[in-house]
Amino acid sequence: MSLDHADEKLVRMANQIATFFASQPEAVRVEGVATHINKFWEPRMRRRFFELVEQSDAGFLPLVRAAAIHVRRPDQVSI
């Protein structure tokens, strides 16, 4: 699968967050990644994140995939 530039950037950013938290104690890694995404990513980014997570070959690190279940899904209602 080929990602466009914006998707590549989103995957790279999520993987960078995971790389940072990989050096933390195992007990806080998954929640740390999810908390960072929940706190700093706007709804459009999180919406696209979930679309990409559903694709098995988007390139996310395993820690990102593990954290995805703790990331809040943005409201599906468009404004």
pLDDT in tens, 7-57: 999 999 999 999 999 999 999 999 999 999 999 999 999 999 999 999 878
The answer to whether position 47 is within a domain reads: yes
Q: What is the pLDDT of residue 54?
A: 92
The answer to whether position 79 is within a domain reads: no
Domain count across the chain: 1
Q: What is the pLDDT of residue 33?
A: 98
The answer to whether position 15 is within a domain reads: yes
The answer to whether position 46 is within a domain reads: yes
Q: What is the pLDDT of residue 1?
A: 58
Quick check: 69 and 50 in contact, CB under 8 A? no
Residue with tokens 């899904």: 73
The answer to whether position 61 is within a domain reads: yes
DSSP H helices, 1-79, are: 5-21, 26-40, 43-53, 62-67
As a whole number, mean pLDDT of residues 59-75 equals 94
The answer to whether position 78 is within a domain reads: no
The answer to whether position 60 is within a domain reads: yes
The parent domain of residue 63 ranges over 5-70
The answer to whether position 77 is within a domain reads: no
Q: What is the pLDDT of residue 76?
A: 54
